[in-house]
A and B are shown apart, each in its own frame.
Chain A
């Protein structure tokens, strides 16, 4: 399985960790981002739906993996869900294996922040009443209204 993966299937943290395992790594850091409850009643979020620009996202993730290797001496694995992700399930798993814990923690945080800033993936709230709203900055100027 590819260490940089966009998939419609549920994520497997153990699989992501296995992809950064190495005898030269004394530390592995992992981040899991999950869909969480927000709001209540008919307005409650029941899922997030993710759309991605797969062709571009894969290139950016590969460049990020190269950057993590150069900056931290770490090995990066990223699995991101696409499609509908029910509350409580993981949407993103990022793991970094590195020689020491300081590099592993720093590289994992660095990778997560870069992913959230740069990788062309968008999430959409799916609410109990059937309404949906994209998180792409466009609602503020009237899109999706």
Chain B
């Protein structure tokens, strides 16, 4: 059975997607970084993730190779600019 993944988007990626949250269904153990190619075409544009993009899995920093499981939350973190 596929794993249901909640993907969080922010800032210009969310604006490009027209959504701040997307639900994907992927095979279990699919790596976090594979989410990029599954985002709307307006986000990935057929290219790999831009330099500076980082990943979070369940609210913690993650490497793109980390495997996802059912119920996980993945976030695409572009360079931050708080303060």
Interface of chain A, helix or strand or loop or mixed?
Answer: mixed
- Judging by beta carbons under 8 Å apart, are A59 and B59 in contact? yes
Query: How many residue pairs at the A-B interface have CB separations less than 8 Å?
Result: 85
B24 at the interface (CB under 8 A from A): no
Q: A135-B81, A136-B79 are in contact. List 12 more A-B contacts (CB 8 A).
A: A51-B11, A53-B75, A56-B59, A80-B82, A91-B83, A112-B83, A115-B83, A117-B80, A119-B80, A120-B75, A134-B12, A136-B81
Binding site for A on B (CB under 8 A): 8, 10-16, 50, 52, 56, 59-60, 75, 77-83
Number of A interface residues in the complex (CB < 8 A): 31
A108 at the interface (CB under 8 A from B): no
* Contact A137 to B50, CB < 8 A, known contacts A50-B82, A121-B82: yes
Q: Nearest B residue to A6 by beta-carbon distance?
A: B82
Q: Nearest B residue to A59 by beta-carbon distance?
A: B59
Binding site for B on A (CB under 8 A): 33, 50-53, 55-56, 59, 80, 91-92, 112, 115-124, 134-139, 141, 143-144
Q: Nearest A residue to B78 by beta-carbon distance?
A: A136
| Complex CA distance for A135 and B14, rounded to whole angstroms | 13
Instruction: List residues of chain B with CB within 8 A of the CB of A59.
Output: 59-60
